[in-house]
Amino acid sequence: MSGYLNRVQLIGNLGRDPEVRSTQTGKTVVTLVIATSESWKDERGNRVERTEWHRIVIFSEGLGQIAEKYLEKGSKVYLEGKLCTRKWQDQSGADRYSTEIHLTPYNGVLIFLDSRRDGDPAAATTTSDRRGGATGGTGGASNLDDEIPF
């Protein structure tokens, strides 16, 4: 096989509200912090839980706008992106590394797994289309019957 694959899929909860920043070129970048947890029983029968924290960076304008508008701390989401490690220097000049999941135009997917708190089911699901925009769905609840011509 001559191809390569760099794809991450996560289901988790936001640890804080989305953080919105602008690049030097004026593009909007939205950062999410997602918690994923797993639990099991140890050899003594005690329940053990481990939480991993993931930094998600949304470079897609459409997904970023929707995440900023509808997501908040505690929101449950499914996302797909690519794993990226970036190198930076701390205040003392030492090299540091951060691993992030990037949702980019054409490749990022973000699906809301909670219904909106204000009761609007139309924003329950959001994914990127292949042009980097965002499309919405209802995640199962549908009011499309009125638009079907038969």
Could you count the other beta carbons within 10 Å of the beta carbon of residue 13? 17
Residue 149 located in a structural domain: no
65 is a domain residue? yes
Range of the domain at 84: 8-140
Looking up tokens 């908040």, which residue turns up?
A: 72
Residue 23 lies in a domain: yes
Instruction: Give residue-wise pLDDT tens across range 56-88.
Output: 999 999 999 999 999 999 999 999 999 999 999
Task: Tell me whether residue 145 is in a domain.
Answer: no
In a domain, 16, yes or no: yes
pLDDT of residue 19: 97
Contacts of residue 8, defined as CB under 8 A and 6 or more positions apart, other chains included, come to: 80, 81, 82, 83, 101
The two three-digit tokens of residue 93, written as one number:
């000049």
* Neighbour count for residue 138 (Cβ, 10 Å): 15
Residue 3 lies in a domain: no
Please count the structural domains in the chain.
1
In this prediction, residue 74 carries a pLDDT of 96
Q: What is the pLDDT of residues 98-150, one digit of tens each?
A: 999 999 998 899 999 987 665 554 444 444 544 344 444 334 333 444 454 53
When pLDDT is averaged across residues 3-28 and rounded to a whole number, the result is: 94
DSSP assignment of 79-135, as one string?
Answer: EEEEEEEEEEE-TTS-EEEEEEEEE-TTT-EEEE-SPPTTS-GGGSEEEE-TTS-EE
User: Does some domain include residue 2?
Assistant: no
Which pLDDT value is given to residue 137?
39
What's the pLDDT at 20?
Answer: 96
CATH (domain of 32): 2.40.50.140
